[in-house]
Amino acid sequence: MRKLRYTFKSDILFKMVFVKYPHLLKELVAVILGITVENITAFEILNSEITPESIEDKFCRLDINMRVNGKLVDIEMQVTNEGNYPERVMFYWAREFSSALVSGADYSLLPATIIISIMDFNLFGCEEYHSFFQPREATRHTLLSDKMGFHFFELPKLPELPENANESSILLIV
């Protein structure tokens, strides 16, 4: 059996599929944000630029930025761990959050900004494949703001597919 040259974990292929089929992206985001698709009243892909003609061509912006019900949402597909991923994700968040406010506007108008990372490596020393972070006070765990959120999905921690899985099984396969 021949090995596939590209998989859905390729960030270019990931973006090509979701930009071409935004209803699939909308369903994925709804599941991650814990809302129904029907509750998404506003959905806009902000960087739907034309992807390269060939998957091997150079392409500099591989993430998917969107606005969902007034929230800024960024999805990143990351295949390799270069040792600085938490800092990189916080930089992405800071860039998105700070660019959302026009000069002179009130800070309360800043939108909730959420970064979703789908990673083909383990980042945290836990068994759960999904981790969610927000800023909280260290002792009382009081939420500072709900305008910052980080979802991390560690693909190697996903459970194996059951042997009796078929097309009618409801599974998230990335």
- Asked if the structure places residue 28 within a domain, the reply is yes
Q: How many domains does the chain have?
A: 1
Separation CA 169–CA 17 (nearest Å): 21
Separation CA 62–CA 64 (nearest Å): 7
Question: What are 47-78's pLDDT values in tens digits?
Answer: 766 455 555 554 434 488 999 999 999 999 88
Q: Which domain does 39 fall in, by range?
A: 11-125+135-157
> What's the confidence (pLDDT) of residue 5?
52
Helix, strand, coil proportions of the chain in percent (round to 5)? 25, 20, 55
Separation CA 127–CA 7 (nearest Å): 24
Nearest one of 114, 120, 132 to 157, comparing CA atoms: 120
- Asked if the structure places residue 16 within a domain, the reply is yes
- Asked if the structure places residue 59 within a domain, the reply is yes
Question: What are 72-100's pLDDT values in tens digits?
Answer: 999 998 888 999 999 999 999 999 999 99
- Asked if the structure places residue 39 within a domain, the reply is yes
- Asked if the structure places residue 117 within a domain, the reply is yes
- Asked if the structure places residue 62 within a domain, the reply is yes
β-pairing, 64-68 vs 43-45, is: antiparallel
Give the pLDDT band of residue 26 (cuts 50, 70, 90).
very high
Which residue's entry shows tokens 């292929």?
13
Residue type, 34: G
- Asked if the structure places residue 172 within a domain, the reply is no
**Residue 86 three-state SS:** helix
Nearest one of 64, 44, 91, 70 to 146, comparing CA atoms: 70
pTM assigned to the model: 0.79
Separation CA 94–CA 96 (nearest Å): 6
- Asked if the structure places residue 3 within a domain, the reply is no
> What's the confidence (pLDDT) of residue 46?
86
Q: What is the DSSP letter of 29?
A: H
